[in-house]
Structure 1
């Protein structure tokens, strides 16, 4: 089980359905994250993804 009580103030996050989201603040509870892309040639912000995202149990 992930301990999401830690708030890494270097990684702001508002994705509350991620199990790594701090439960009381808008920060990630991980020490670091992996950012990637789903495009062969990314040209805009929407082409990037937080590849450290894990859905909370019960989220779809």
Structure 2
């Protein structure tokens, strides 16, 4: 567990497998994230991806 994690309360996140996830709270520790898509014409929330994801 990373005790130095500073949650960015502007970026909620529930992906606990991400290196940037604050394990004690459901927030990201990054100042800024990049959101993208894997679809040419996204029409659902499942079509979007956090491009800042890093496997912990």
- The size of the alignment, in residue pairs, is 54
Aligned-residue Cα RMSD (Å) equals 1.4
User: Cα–Cα, structure 1 residues 52 and 4, in superposed 2: closer, same or farther, change >3 Å?
Assistant: farther
Q: Point out where structure 2 has 5 or more consecutive residues left out of the alignment.
A: none
The equivalent residue for 1:35 is 35
User: Cα–Cα, structure 1 residues 8 and 29, in superposed 2: closer, same or farther, change >3 Å?
Assistant: same
Runs of 4+ with >4 A deviation: none
Asked whether the 8 Å contact 1:4–1:19 carries over to 2, the reply is: no
